[in-house]
């Protein structure tokens, strides 16, 4: 098993541990009096037959981990249930689930008693390879996505690849997209291996662990330098500006990680068009990324629809689009791009059928 990843934060230092018997650890948390906040689907799949049912609603609190529930109301409901069950400032809250469960518990634990300890057991590839570290919470407010949030790192993170076995192929590909964005950010030597293993990891999820470890190691190095996302950490938005707009454009029919995969390829295409990389460099990166593209047709969408979503991106500081372009793997640049007719035409060209066919 891989060694622990130790992360330094101005708020606390914490560790990511890779374990192979997560259920013994979960039972230990219950024995110690911790509160478990669990994605109801994970509870049904993995914990229902292992834990004491009489603790439901008392020490084991289930949430419906859906995007529409990632809001203030869910946090208030969780606080109410915790208070009714005599939560103390010294109590520990253990979140078991993916990114939505993480966001709700991270946010709630940061405001309850001005902060209570929490632990995260991530169960999705996206959460294990990306969101579990960095300390961010994001809560939707009045239909505005991720408007509210805090920085509140967990005390510990425990990763067990057993949870990956129940993920759909699309869920795995979503996580793969997020890992690729770290690998290209830092020119990881595992990029080609990851591409070669893309079919094997779908059938044997344990093979993902070395790539999860690499992804977290890359992220650790940056968040320790720029914890609050004001400097070099901004380059982690590579693929995200264009990807978030794809999610919104398709009403989230394209999942986050695969939207980011397209977003990276579009960023690379624009980088080629602006003379930052050669056509050969673009093509070599595109072959890797297109292997993770979703099967989705963009033919019914107009460029005006897409650019209208780009203009709403929260990272924009003026009328220009703030995005991340590339001068090659390991050489990302923050770029202010004017959404004029010429650049809209380039984006429209990209969305032509030939550029979006997955391999």
DSSP readout, 198-263? TTHHHH-GGGGHHHHHHHHHHHHHHHTT-TTSSSGGGGGGTTHHHHHHHHHHTTT-S-HHHHHHHH
pTM, to two decimals: 0.92
What is the rounded distance in angstroms from the CA atom of residue 263 to the CA atom of residue 150?
26
Nearest partner of 14 among 281, 227, 264, judged by Cα: 227
What is the rounded distance in angstroms from the CA atom of residue 248 to the CA atom of residue 267?
18
CA contacts within 13 A on the Cβ side of 302: 3
Map out the domains of the chain as residue ranges: 5-166, 169-355
**Which pLDDT value is given to residue 318?**
63
**Which pLDDT value is given to residue 311?**
84
Give SS3 for 320.
coil
- Fold topology of 5-166: Rossmann fold (3.40.50)
Q: Please state the length of the chain.
A: 359
- Radius of gyration over every alpha carbon of the chain, rounded to an integer in angstroms: 21
- Fold topology of 169-355: Dehydroquinate synthase-like, alpha domain (1.20.1090)
**Which pLDDT value is given to residue 316?**
54
**Which pLDDT value is given to residue 353?**
61
Do 119 and 157 form a contact (C-beta atoms < 8 A)? yes
Question: Quick one: CA dihedral 336, 342, 344, 345, positive or negative?
Answer: negative
**Which pLDDT value is given to residue 358?**
53
Nearest partner of 335 among 352, 310, 355, 356, judged by Cα: 310
Do 87 and 35 form a contact (C-beta atoms < 8 A)? yes
pLDDT tens for each residue of the chain, 359 residues long? 688 999 999 999 999 999 999 999 999 999 999 999 999 999 999 999 999 999 999 999 999 999 889 999 999 999 999 999 999 999 999 999 999 999 999 999 999 999 999 999 999 999 999 999 999 999 988 877 788 999 999 999 999 999 999 999 999 999 999 999 999 999 999 999 999 998 899 899 999 999 999 999 999 999 999 888 888 888 999 999 999 899 888 988 999 999 999 999 999 999 999 999 999 999 999 999 999 999 888 877 888 989 888 987 656 556 689 999 999 999 999 999 999 999 999 999 998 865 565 54
Do 5-166 and 169-355 have matching folds? no
**Which pLDDT value is given to residue 205?**
94
What is the rounded distance in angstroms from the CA atom of residue 359 to the CA atom of residue 349?
19
**Which pLDDT value is given to residue 230?**
82
């Amino acid at each position: 098993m891989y060694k622990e990843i130790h992360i330094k934060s101005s708020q606390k230092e914490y560790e990511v541990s890779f374990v192979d018997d997560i259920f013994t650890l979960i039972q230990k948390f219950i024995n110690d009096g911790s509160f478990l906040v669990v994605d109801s689907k994970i509870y049904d799949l993995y914990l229902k037959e292992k834990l004491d049912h009489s603790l439901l609603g008392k020490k084991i609190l289930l949430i419906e981990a859906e995007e529409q529930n990632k809001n203030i109301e869910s946090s208030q409901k969780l606080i109410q249930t915790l208070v009714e069950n005599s939560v103390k400032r010294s109590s520990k809250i253990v979140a078991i689930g993916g990114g939505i469960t993480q966001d709700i518990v991270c946010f709630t634990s940061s405001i309850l008693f001005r902060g209570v300890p929490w632990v995260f057991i991530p169960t999705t590839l996206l959460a294990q390879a990306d969101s579990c570290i960095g300390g961010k919470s994001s809560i939707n407010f009045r239909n505005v996505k991720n408007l509210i949030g805090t920085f509140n790192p967990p005390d510990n993170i425990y990763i067990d690849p057993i949870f990956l076995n129940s993920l759909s192929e699309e869920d795995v590909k979503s996580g793969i997209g997020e890992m690729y964005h770290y690998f290209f950010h830092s020119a990881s030597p595992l990029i080609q291996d990851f591409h070669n293993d893309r079919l094997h990891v779908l059938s044997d999820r344990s093979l993902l662990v070395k790539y999860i470890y690499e992804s977290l190691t890359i992220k650790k190095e940056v968040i320790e330098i720029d914890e609050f996302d004001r400097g070099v950490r901004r380059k982690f938005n590579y693929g995200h500006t264009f990807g978030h707009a794809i999610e919104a454009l398709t009403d989230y029919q394209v999942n986050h990680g695969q939207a980011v995969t397209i977003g990276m390829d579009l960023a690379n295409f624009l980088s080629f068009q602006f003379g930052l990389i050669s056509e050969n460099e673009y093509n070599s990166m595109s072959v890797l990324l297109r292997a993770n593209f979703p099967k989705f047709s963009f033919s019914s969408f107009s460029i005006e629809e897409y650019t209208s979503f780009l203009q709403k991106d929260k990272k924009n500081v003026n009328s220009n689009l703030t995005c991340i372009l590339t001068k090659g793997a390991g050489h990302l640049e923050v770029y202010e791009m004017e959404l004029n007719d010429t650049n809209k035409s380039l984006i429209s060209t990209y969305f032509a059928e030939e550029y979006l066919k997955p391999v």
